[in-house]
Amino acid sequence: MIENRKFYRLPSHSRFVLGNENRVYAGKAVNISFGGAFVHLLDVTGIKSGDRMKCDFMLSESGPVLSSMTQVKRVAVGSSNPSDYSGVGVEFVDFTGDSRRIVDEFIFEQKRLYELLGTLLMNTEPDLRSMKPMLSKLPLQRQPDLRDLRVFVESTLRSIQLVENKGV
């Protein structure tokens, strides 16, 4: 399924806290873009499409806490399939302070890292140990072997290219 996307998504493990007047929800982003994120939540009870929620999140463990008002665009209820996340797709509506600039810089840096890794993986047989500083900046679940890393990087670059080529 090809999605009509305005911004490309980058894989993420950023911590998110979403809240409305009734409840606070904590989870991790599955992906993030200039326009929003999909946040994995264990329980989506009480959230519906169109809800506005305050959002605080961190792009890295040592980074600042960023804030934005968001609008829920999609609510997903998971299944027994581990890759079928329950959670919410949110659109960033109004950032607080330097949050917009920090998100933009983070996404540009992540894109640059994926492009650099893609070039390295296509042209050489790199030693993963020598790439460790670069790999530590990417949202990898585990230390990959070279084949898994190639698949991960190539699929991410392909999704970026699809969105950029569409010019949507």
Q: What is the pLDDT of residue 160?
A: 78
* Mean pLDDT, the chain, integer: 84
The structure's pTM equals 0.80
Total length of the chain: 168
Average pLDDT, stretch 138-156?
Answer: 75
d(CA 38, CA 12): 9
Average pLDDT, stretch 12-34?
Answer: 92
- Give percent above pLDDT 90 in the chain: 41
- 167 phi-psi bin (left φ>0, alpha ψ -120 to 50, beta other): left
| Between residues 14 and 78, the one the model is more confident about | 14
